[in-house]
Structure 1
Amino acid sequence: MAESKAPDPSRRSERSRRAIYDAALALVTEAGYARTTIEGIAARAGVGKQTIYRWWPSKAAVLMEAFLDLGEQAAREAGGGDGAEYEIPDTGDLETDLKLVLRATVDQMNTPVYDVPSRALAAEGVIDAELGAEFARKLLEPQLRLYVRRLAAGQDAGAVRRDLDLRIALELLVGPVAHRWLLRTLPLTHEYADTIVEYALHGLAPRS
């Protein structure tokens, strides 16, 4: 007679956690942040709300972790699926590489599964300073460091001035995109991303 195995609590917990992530992202995309509730997430995920409160103090915390997990999945896929950290490509052509990654950023911002949770967390972070700091530390800063590393490589290759503050330099690239995304008055396109890179690298003054 085959010996029956006891249920594995860790696997059950991981399934529940994954279901909660999916439910939180789906609900905030479908109904908006204000109408998303812990009760709704629990019902969608097929778990009790006490399970959610055991792991997270609020719906903002659930959404933050779910969104971070979504970003980690995307990074793993971009890195070839082996879990390696994503890096901006270095083909030796800085302009081409920056256009490639900024186009990818535009595509991500135009995708509802990323756009809606990002807006919800950004808006909530204005009200909740602790959540805003966590959003910046866990989500924004790792992405910004990728730009710093690629620009530093550009310095080593002689494509970027040595005296530049790379933090300010990266803000010339990502700041305009974030600004247009927040305002939603003009479309985010690949052409716009390319122009931002060209302006940032070559400046506004007439070329000699």
Structure 2
Amino acid sequence: MITSPSSLRRSERSRRAILEAALELCTEKGYGRVTVEAIAARAGVSKKTIYRWWPSKSAVILEAFTDALVGTTPFVDTGDIAADLRANVMGAVKLLSTPPYGPAYAGILSEVHHDDALAETVRTKLIDPRFEEAVDRLRRAQEQGQIPPDADLPLAVEMLYGPVYYRHVLRKPVQDEETIAALVAHVLRALGAPPEP
């Protein structure tokens, strides 16, 4: 069967409505009380439509969170690795501290401990691609001479973003711009990068 352009538009419209409904319900009810039935009712679609595209409510909410994270925290290259890392980490902190995204992601993280399929999806759809993008950005800085050639880039990514997720999971106060600047400076110093002018 050939899909017409109008049906493709309807599918995308339905997908966006479902993702928005899931996030709205997370804000209103909390992650644990959101159901596929409620998402379907809010989005104006059938449960069958949701299950055709996602295996669970967690998968719906994960896609909504991933879309938001990718859209608000691109790995730009201005030629200044310190500034670019500060902007990226700050974007992640702001997203995680803003409803519905922070509570939605906390709910997903609570599910991965007893849902192996969701854990795998989180790794393959969110964590691994973002990790590789971060390593690629650091590699470009390395090629530009801003980071030494022997620096352990994957470890640097964990050093940069580990504190963000640690604070989020434990519901500690979020980092401010000054703290993030200190974190980025410390990680770059640990890599052997020359100090900022």
TM-score of the aligned structures, taking structure 1 as reference length? 0.79
Task: Give, in whole Å, the separation in 1 of the partners of 2:81 and 2:7.
Answer: 49
Gaps of 5+ in 2: 191-197
**Higher alpha-carbon Rg:** 1
Gaps of 5+ in 1: 1-5, 79-85, 204-208
Structure 1 stretch displaced more, 53-62 or 127-136: 53-62
Structure 1 residue 140 corresponds to structure 2 residue 127: yes
Structure 1 stretch displaced more, 14-23 or 169-178: 14-23
What aligned pairs does 1:50-61 form with structure 2 within 5 A after superposition? Answer: 50-61=48-59
Partner of 1:26: 24
Partner of 1:47: 45
The DSSP-based 3-state class of the residue aligned with 1:176 is helix
Q: Is contact 1:155–1:162 with CA below 8 Å preserved after alignment?
A: yes
What aligned pairs does 1:1-208 form with structure 2 within 5 A after superposition? Answer: 8-72=6-70, 74=71, 86-91=74-79, 93-203=80-190
Task: Give, in whole Å, the separation in 2 of the partners of 1:187 and 1:132.
Answer: 25
Count how many residue pairs are aligned between Structure 1 and Structure 2. 187
Distance 1:129 1:28, change over 3 A: same
Q: Is contact 1:109–1:115 with CA below 8 Å preserved after alignment?
A: yes
TM-score of the aligned structures, taking structure 2 as reference length? 0.83
Q: Which amino acid aligns with 1:31?
A: K
What do you get for the CA RMSD once the two structures are aligned?
Answer: 2.3
Q: Which amino acid aligns with 1:162?
A: P
Following superposition, the deviation at residue 40 of structure 1 comes to 0.8
Percent of aligned pairs with the same amino acid = 42
Following superposition, the deviation at residue 175 of structure 1 comes to 0.9
> C-alpha deviations, 1:89-124, integer Å up to 9, x for none?
232x32222222222222222221321221111111
The DSSP-based 3-state class of the residue aligned with 1:112 is coil
Task: Give, in whole Å, the separation in 2 of the partners of 1:123 and 1:114.
Answer: 14
Distance 1:167 1:42, change over 3 A: same
